[in-house]
Amino acid sequence: MISSLAVELGALRLACSSKIIVATRNMPARGTKPLPRHLWDMADLEEKTGGAYTHKPLRINRLGGRDPETGRKVNQHIGGGVKFDYFMIDFHRRGPTEQGSTYDERVLEVRRDPNRTCHIALCAGTQGKRWILATENMKAGDIISTSGHLAENPVIGVEGNAYPIGSLAAGTVINSIERYPTSHSETFVKAAGMSATIVRHQGEYTVVKLPHKHEFSLHRTCMATVGRLSHADIDGKIFGSAQMHRRFGYKMSSGLFHKKDGYFGRKVRALPPVRVLDTPPQAPPPAQRFTLTKADLSGLHGHAKVHNLLPSGYSTRDYPD
Amino acid sequence: MVFRKYRAVKQWGKMDTRIFKEIYNSRNKRKMPAFEVPEAVKALGVPIFEPNEVFTQTNRKKNIIEQARSQAEGEVRFAEQEHPLQKNHPAYIFEGAEPMSDGIAQAALLTRSVVRYNLPDTILHNAAAKLDIDEEMVRDAILHGERYNPTLEKLPARFDPVMFWIRHVRLHGTPVLKRKVNRDSPLSVYLSGGQYFSRVPLVLRGQPHLTVQSPDSTVTMPWAGPIDVKAVSTEPLPDIYPISPIIDFEKDTIYNDDLLLTRRQQKTHVHSILWSREQDQKYPWTSEQNMANAILTTYAAAIAEATRNGATKLEKPLLVRGVQLVNGRLDLVAFQLNTLKPTETGDNAEKNIVWIEKGLRLYKPKPYYEQMEVVEKLDMNVFHKFVALMLGFGAPHAH
């Protein structure tokens, strides 16, 4: 009956003189989210160091695009290659929160890192040595400092120094930005030549414009390093040959050429609204595993308890002859 | 189509098992929401125990006591004693495994010494040290280590920084460090107190290939007399801010804080220690870092010489020589120990003196995977400097 009603309505609309053609053209569907890249086994590295930080080069265990849990291939065209040494990077530069006091370090060495695009810098201070991502003009012998103090007036940051984003002036170019004010959160802006900009401060939060122009509102105590990341000319560099590409663990794709259709290419989309990162993602509760005994399964406790065999199906019937 | 009578499925096939298992697994994977303590219960302030661990101790006050204990102990954590000889304090360990971040300045600060960058002229142009040694003899001596050595051990994997993907053939031959049991005697000294080592002591360890000792005490005669020593005490120690000089030491538990020196019971004096270092193929040390290593190891030998009979005070200054060979380059150190006191924040009056000659190229070495046939680019001037260091004995009456 409903369908017949609809047909009637459609007929009415057709009969209507002032015809409205409603045409909405949607953007092509967004692609799926990129898969996690399983290049090297971070769990293995953590096991080797016992969870502690070390500046010493570590031997990586290459995963070849396979999930370390299941061992199944996840990433195409990843595999093989030479095992490079891995340098642990300290992304969370935390310093004293008192006004005027800083944690100073000297840059001992700036070198390239085969496991990431931007250069890395070895810094030494009173607490020890650590590797950080090198900014554009960082060189050996530089003194860099870290301050956790939230300044009342915006600070013009010095390149290589780390500040809470809340105390930096709008327009400051920053990198290695913590997503949440915790010492284990992920960081934004880690690739060579990349940088983010501080847009404005709003109460407890600071809006930061990332290299892909999306704006994020982060807590103002999140730490960031001032400056643009080094090795910006990596785009101009080439592997030279497919074979060299292969030595680094990336394999050529192969297969029939498919012409790209209209869904490929650049989409002119409006920027999304500012995304507020206020609560850090909670780790899922650990899976519980337990086994119930036969007594528990029967559900008969106390004076209701009977012989264990009874809930298992035993009956007192006489066996037939 | 053929007419078929209806027939009930009477067999439970393997596909059914698979399907059942999938359903079963997916049901098991379904997560229950984690239990949250209701706000009303929290407001009551009653202790909440983990339901599965009601009877275990983790829910009891022990946790709080543990927290308080670890808080009280602060930074210096007492190690759990697992062995009767284990000391309950950790110690900084220097074993020459980690390069000194700030090189010579850091070593000078740690050893409380003033650095002189060349050997003194009186030592260099010492007539007694002008020995008539034939160049061929020196070449032969080098080839004794490089070529005539019949060792056939598995050599380390070769790393080529340019063609990093090549897997080189593993060769057998003489390793860069040729170990001999009767020669490489261990050396270990224990230091505590001062600005850096009052809470956590420092243990300096080494295994010099040769320890030259002599019953004659003139071998440890200082080069600088009392006037020079006094003059040196006004010079400041290097400032290596913001680096802390102790960041390159490993922190570990120790079992023995005694002095370890070969023939320490006999009435001999350490003339010099000589050893060689193998450079890492991927991460070679700089000449500064090599020199810092040489200074610290020679300092250990000097401390060992000063405290070999259980002495805690230095009666008169003494001098110990150190020779380090890295890739055919010599690092010469003459360490004059004027004080046993470690570095203090305020009081730094007395200072040691260290004369150094950094990275002197004695000969051109071959990489470890090649056989040296003839000694190339032998520098006899460097050899004479080495002889001058070894045979340069102080004359304290001269000052």
CATH of the domain at A229: 2.30.30.30
Residues B56 and B117 in one domain: no
Q: Could you tell me the two tokens for B211? A: 């320890």
In a domain, A44, yes or no: no
Residues B45 and B153 in one domain: no
In a domain, B49, yes or no: yes
Residues B152 and B219 in one domain: yes
B255 touches chain A (CB under 8 A): no
Q: Is B108 helix (H, G, I), strand (E, B) or coil?
A: helix
Residues B48 and B141 in one domain: no
DSSP assignment of B234-297, as one string? TSPPP--TTS-TTTTSEEEE-S--S-B-TT-SSS-EEEEEEEEEPPPSSSPPPHHHHHHHHHHH
d(CA A215, CA A175): 14
Burial B259-279 (b: 16+ CB within 10 A, else e): bbbbebeeebbbbbbbbbbee
d(CA A259, CA A266): 16
Our CA-based measurement puts residue A188 at a distance from the nearest CA of chain B, in whole angstroms, of 28
| Mean of pLDDT over chain B | 85
Q: Could you tell me the two tokens for A258? A: 């498919």
Burial A101-123 (b: 16+ CB within 10 A, else e): ebbbbbbbbbeebeebbbbbbbb
B residues 80-119 closer than 8 Å to A (CB): 101-102
In a domain, B34, yes or no: no
Highest mean pLDDT among A39-48, B36-45, B257-266, B283-292: B283-292
Q: Which domain holds residue A138?
A: 89-251+270-276
In a domain, B228, yes or no: yes
Answer for the pair B197, B191: CB distance below 8 angstroms, yes or no: yes
Q: Which domain holds residue B269?
A: 99-180+209-249+262-398
Answer for the pair B357, B384: CB distance below 8 angstroms, yes or no: no
Q: Could you tell me the two tokens for A285? A: 């509760």
Residues in chain B with CB shorter than 8 Å from the CB of A143 are 242
Sign of CA dihedral B47, B50, B54, B59: negative
**pLDDT tier at B5, thresholds 50, 70, 90:** low
CA angle A118, A157, A200 (to 5 degrees): 95
pLDDT of amino acid A209: 97
In a domain, A147, yes or no: yes
Residues B224 and B335 in one domain: yes
Would the CB atoms of B244 and A143 count as touching at under 8 Å? no
Residues B235 and B296 in one domain: yes
In this predicted structure, the answer to whether residue B181 has a pLDDT above a threshold of 50 is no
Residues B172 and B43 in one domain: no
Answer for the pair B146, B366: CB distance below 8 angstroms, yes or no: yes
Our CA-based measurement puts residue A288 at a distance from the nearest CA of chain B, in whole angstroms, of 10
Interface of A with B (CB under 8 A): 57, 82, 85, 104-106, 108, 124-129, 143, 247, 284-285, 287
Q: Is B300 helix (H, G, I), strand (E, B) or coil?
A: helix
Task: Give the residue from A147, A139, A293 showing the smallest Cα distance to A225.
Answer: A147
In a domain, A189, yes or no: yes
Please give the residue of chain B at the shortest CA–CA distance from A104. B242
Q: Could you tell me which residue, A106 or B125, shows the higher pLDDT?
A: A106
Answer for the pair A107, A123: CB distance below 8 angstroms, yes or no: yes
In a domain, A18, yes or no: no
Residues in chain B with CB shorter than 8 Å from the CB of A287 are 31
Residues facing residue A196 across a β-bridge: A174
- 3-state SS string for A236-266: HCCCCCHHHHHHCCECCCCCCCCCCCCCCCC
Would the CB atoms of B247 and A106 count as touching at under 8 Å? no
Residues B322 and B393 in one domain: yes
In this complex, which of B164, B244, B283 lies closest to A126 when CB atoms are compared?
Answer: B244
Residues B64 and B164 in one domain: no
B305 touches chain A (CB under 8 A): no
In this complex, which of B242, B243, B282 lies closest to A85 when CB atoms are compared?
Answer: B282
B242 touches chain A (CB under 8 A): yes
pLDDT of amino acid B318: 93
In a domain, B91, yes or no: no
Task: Give the residue from B199, B172, B187 showing the smallest Cα distance to B90.
Answer: B199
For chain A, how many structural domains are there in total? 1
Cα Dmax for chain B: 126
Our CA-based measurement puts residue B167 at a distance from the nearest CA of chain A, in whole angstroms, of 10
In a domain, A21, yes or no: no
Residues in chain A with CB shorter than 8 Å from the CB of B165 are 82, 247
What percentage of chain B exceeds 70 in pLDDT? 87
| ipTM of predicted complex | 0.77
Q: Distance of CA B177 to CAs A86, B158, B171, B364, Å?
A: 27, 16, 15, 17
Residues in chain B with CB shorter than 8 Å from the CB of A108 are 101
Would the CB atoms of B243 and A106 count as touching at under 8 Å? yes
d(CA B129, CA B135): 16
Task: Give the residue from B332, B312, B309 showing the smallest Cα distance to B322.
Answer: B332
Q: Could you tell me which residue, B322 or B19, shows the higher pLDDT?
A: B322
d(CA A269, CA A256): 31
**pLDDT tier at B322, thresholds 50, 70, 90:** very high
In a domain, A43, yes or no: no
User: Across chain B, where does the E strand assignment appear?
Assistant: 90-94, 113-116, 153-154, 172-173, 187-193, 198-206, 210-214, 250-253, 269-277, 318-326, 329-337, 352-361
Residue type, A204: E
Residues in chain A with CB shorter than 8 Å from the CB of B101 are 108, 124, 129
Our CA-based measurement puts residue A144 at a distance from the nearest CA of chain B, in whole angstroms, of 10
Residues B377 and B288 in one domain: yes
Dihedral (Cα; A93, A94, A96, A98), 10-degree rounding: 100
Among B109, B158, B166, B247, which would you mutate to test the A interface (most chain A Cβ atoms within 10 Å of its Cβ)?
B247
Kindly report the number of other CB atoms within 10 A of residue A57's CB atom.
16
Residues in chain B with CB shorter than 8 Å from the CB of A127 are 244, 247
Our CA-based measurement puts residue A247 at a distance from the nearest CA of chain B, in whole angstroms, of 7
In which element (H, E) is residue B310 found? none
pTM of structure: 0.78
Cα Dmax for chain A: 99
In a domain, A261, yes or no: no
pLDDT of amino acid A242: 87
C-alpha atoms less than 13 angstroms from C-alpha of A309 in its C-beta half-sphere: 3
In a domain, B136, yes or no: yes
Q: Is B143 helix (H, G, I), strand (E, B) or coil?
A: helix
Residues B68 and B162 in one domain: no
Q: Name the residue with tokens 């910006």.
A: A232
State the Rg of chain B over Cα. 32
| pLDDT one digit per residue (tens) for chain A, 321 residues | 444 544 444 444 444 455 677 666 666 667 677 888 899 999 999 999 998 999 999 999 999 999 998 899 999 899 999 999 999 999 999 999 999 899 999 999 999 999 999 999 999 999 999 999 999 999 999 999 999 999 999 999 999 999 999 999 999 999 999 999 998 899 999 999 999 999 999 999 999 999 999 999 999 999 999 999 999 999 888 888 889 899 999 998 888 888 888 777 777 888 999 999 999 988 888 888 888 877 777 777 777 777 666 666 666 666 555
B309 alpha-carbon distance from chain centroid:
25
Per-residue pLDDT tens over the stretch B8-49:
555 677 777 877 787 777 777 888 788 888 999 989 888 777
Q: Is B29 helix (H, G, I), strand (E, B) or coil?
A: helix
Q: Distance of CA B247 to CAs A55, A56, B93, Å?
A: 11, 13, 11
**pLDDT tier at B355, thresholds 50, 70, 90:** very high
Per-residue pLDDT tens over the stretch B204-245:
999 998 999 999 888 999 999 899 999 999 998 898 988 999
Would the CB atoms of A126 and B242 count as touching at under 8 Å? yes
pLDDT of amino acid A203: 93
**pLDDT tier at B180, thresholds 50, 70, 90:** low
In a domain, B386, yes or no: yes
Long-range contacts of A309-312 (CB under 8 A, 24+ apart): none
Please give the residue of chain A at the shortest CA–CA distance from B248. A128
For chain B, how many structural domains are there in total? 2
In a domain, A35, yes or no: no
d(CA B224, CA B274): 22
In a domain, B334, yes or no: yes
Residues B345 and B238 in one domain: yes
Q: Name the residue with tokens 């070495």.
A: B365
In a domain, B32, yes or no: no
State the Rg of chain A over Cα. 30
